Structure 1
Amino acid sequence: MKELTQNEERVMRIIWSKGEALVRDILEALPEPQPPYTTLASTVKSLEKKGFVKYRAYGSTYLYSPKITQEDYSRKSVNSLVKNYFEGSVGNFLSFMVKENKISDKEIEDMQKLIDDMDKPEEK
């Protein structure tokens, strides 16, 4: 899967939230200052070429929808982040997040519960 630029990711978030959208729908969902329509259309076309969106044509209008889920993209992005910046270690990543105060005590407790639950044998 190819990387998305910041603008492409912003557009994908809109498409993911709407499920499908015309370029003008995406434009209306963007905050001010909005890019020119043609610039946005080029961004969406780039997303199509990268395999992130598909489209259905209605005359000269295209309705775009995601080809990849937001969850799949998030998983790939986090895995890439851990691999490229934390020597492939989830422990290093979590340690960084704790040191930077990006994880609350509640989130740490929730993660510990997930880990504890994973260690329990499944009941049959």
Structure 2
Amino acid sequence: MKYLWTIEKGFLKDIVDQFPDPAPAYTTISTLISRMVKKGYIGFEKYGRDKEYYPKITKTEYFKNHFKEIVSGFFNNSSSQFASFFTKNSDLSLEELRELESILQEKIKDKKQQ
């Protein structure tokens, strides 16, 4: 998805060309793209036998979906359990912790105004 978001649309060769060396096998990337098409993350337009692929989902939507799966599967649907695990098991700098604190304070403020 990362490389498709970068080029916005492209044929399989264009996507493969985005990977740094050594790039994964052409067939591996083709398989991954096919799976992403089935999941609705990638769309395509057909030109003869070739397909031009494009993202059907934004990066934010993609990560939001994956985050929900992680929270649901590993943290009993509890965002606070995830946040606790993340902060306790990450080597966050003081600056990063302050940034998280600021984000949380802003979110609390927004919730109070609702």
TM-score where L is the length of structure 2: 0.78
1:71 CA drift (Å): 0.9
What runs of 5+ residues in structure 2 fail to find an aligned partner? none
What runs of 5+ residues in structure 1 fail to find an aligned partner? 1-11
Q: Could you tell me how far apart the structure 1 residues matched to 2:55 and 2:89 are?
A: 34
Q: What secondary structure sits across from 1:71 in the alignment? A: helix
Count the aligned residue pairs.
111
Q: Could you tell me how far apart the structure 2 residues matched to 1:26 and 1:74 are?
A: 20
TM-score where L is the length of structure 1: 0.73
| Residue 105 to residue 79, structure 1, CA distance change in 2 (3 Å) | farther
Identity %: 28
Aligned to 1:105: 94
**Greater shift in the superposed pair: 90-99 or 22-31:** 90-99
Residue number among 76, 79, 93 corresponding to 1:90 in the alignment: 79
1:54 touches 1:64 (CA, 8 Å); kept in 2? yes
Equivalences for residues 1-124 of structure 1 within 5 A: 12-120=1-109
Letter in 2 for 1:28: D
**Greater shift in the superposed pair: 31-40 or 86-95:** 31-40
Q: If each structure's helix is expressed as a fraction of its own residues, which one has the higher value?
A: 2
